[in-house]
Amino acid sequence: MAEYYNLIKYFHYLCFISWMAFLFYQPRLYVYHAENMDKPDFVRVVEVQEYKMYHYIGWVALIGTFLTGILIIVAMPELLRSGYMHVKLTVVVILAAFHLDLGRYMVQLREKRCKKSGMFFRAYNEVPTIAMVIIIWMMVYKPF
């Protein structure tokens, strides 16, 4: 497995970038949705985008990120002895919870039960940015 480490890491990066793109864009769709509830034709288009992004891009990228991440740890289990890896994995769990929360908001918006504003989703959209900064910092500098 160790001989495939770089290839696995390559696919891990591709999946992670795809997942982050989803996590950045999905809340932006919710901003448009929340701010245009009075325009049913526009909302229908946004709902299709939300659904496709969540189910066809978001989940595939999350699963790919997790599977390749697990393979990296199987190939190099000593990574789990590093403090920076524990921080990274904790942030990944937070991102997974954020991902699930995006699904909850998608359903609430579609059913017109969501009370959150466009301003809320603009602020909420900063969560994956902060998480990404922490993850990349940990992986580049390995501070502990």
Nearest to 131 by CA among 60, 7, 9, 27: 27
88 is in an annotated binding site: yes
Task: Read off the amino acid at residue 115.
Answer: K
DSSP codes, 3-38: GGHHHHHHHHHHHHHHHHHHHHHHHHHHHHHHHTTT
Would you say 12 is a known binding-site residue?
yes
Q: Which of 54, 56, 59, 44 has the alpha carbon at shortest distance from 110?
A: 44
Which residues carry a binding-site annotation for heme?
Answer: 12, 88
Which residues carry a binding-site annotation?
Answer: 12, 88
